[in-house]
Chain A
Amino acid sequence: MSKAYGIIAAFDDTREIFQACEQVRDAGYTQWDALTPFPIHGLDRAMGLRRSKVPRLSLIGGIAGFCTGMALIWWTGAADFRLIVGGKPYFSPMFAFPISYELSILFTAFATILGMFFLNRLPMHYHPVLKQPQFARATSDRFFIVIEATDPKFDAARTRALLVQAGGKDIVEIEG
Chain B
Amino acid sequence: MDLQTEVLIIGGGATGTGIARDLSLRGIPSLLVEKGDFTSGASGRNQGLLHSGGRYAVNDPDAARECIAENRILRRIAPHCIEPTDGLFVSLPEDGPEYRANFIRACGAAGIDTLPLSPREALAMEPRLSPRIIGAVQVPDGAIDPFTLVVENARDAESRGARILIHTEVTGLIRDGLRIAGVRVRDRITAEAFAIAATWVINATGAWANHILRMAGLQIGLALSKGSMLITNTRLSERVLNRCRPPASGDIIVPNDTVSILGTTSLRAEDPEHYEVTPAEVTFLVDELSRMIPDLKGERFTRAYAGVRPLLQSEGTNDDRTISRGFALIDHGSCSGPAGLVTITGGKLMTYRLMAEKTADFICERMGLHVPCSTHVQRLPGAGHGHTLKDRLLRLRRQTPAAKGEILCDCELVPREAVDAILREGKVRELQDILHRTRLAKGTCQGGFCVYRLLGLLNERSKADHRGGSNRILKGFLEERWKGIRPVLWGRSLKEEELIESIYKGLFNLTPAEPGGPGGGEA
Indicate, yes or no, whether A interacts with B.
no
